[in-house]
Amino acid sequence: MADDSANGSKVKNVTTYTPSLLQSIPRQEQRSKLGIVESSLPFKGLDVWNAYEFSWVDGRGKPEVVLAQFQIPGNSPNLIESRSLKLYLGSYGNTPFNHRNEVISTLESDLTLAARAPVSVSFMTPEQVQHVGLGLLVGNSLDNLDVEVSEYYWNPDFIEVESNTIVRESIFTHLFKSLCPLTGQPDSASILIQYNGNSISHEGLLKYLVSYREHEEFAEQITERIFVDIMNRCSPERLAVSANFARRGGIDINSHRTHKEALPAEVRVWRQ
Residue 120 has what DSSP assignment? E
Q: How far apart are CA 4 and CA 10, in angstroms?
A: 7
Per the annotation, the verdict on 234 as an active-site residue is: no
Helix then strand count (H, E) for the chain reads: 6, 10
Backbone angles phi, psi at 83, to 5 degrees: -70, -35
Enumerate the β-bridge partners of residue 44.
258
Q: How far apart are CA 268 and CA 132, in angstroms?
A: 9
**Nearest CA among 28, 25, 26, 21 for reference residue 4:** 21
Catalytic residue among 110, 187, 229, 252: 187
Q: Which helix (H) or strand (E) holds 115?
A: helix 100-115
Per the annotation, the verdict on 110 as an active-site residue is: no
Amino acid residing at 258: T
Distances (CA, A) of 43 to 16, 136, 190, 262: 39, 24, 20, 11
Residues that are catalytic: 180, 187
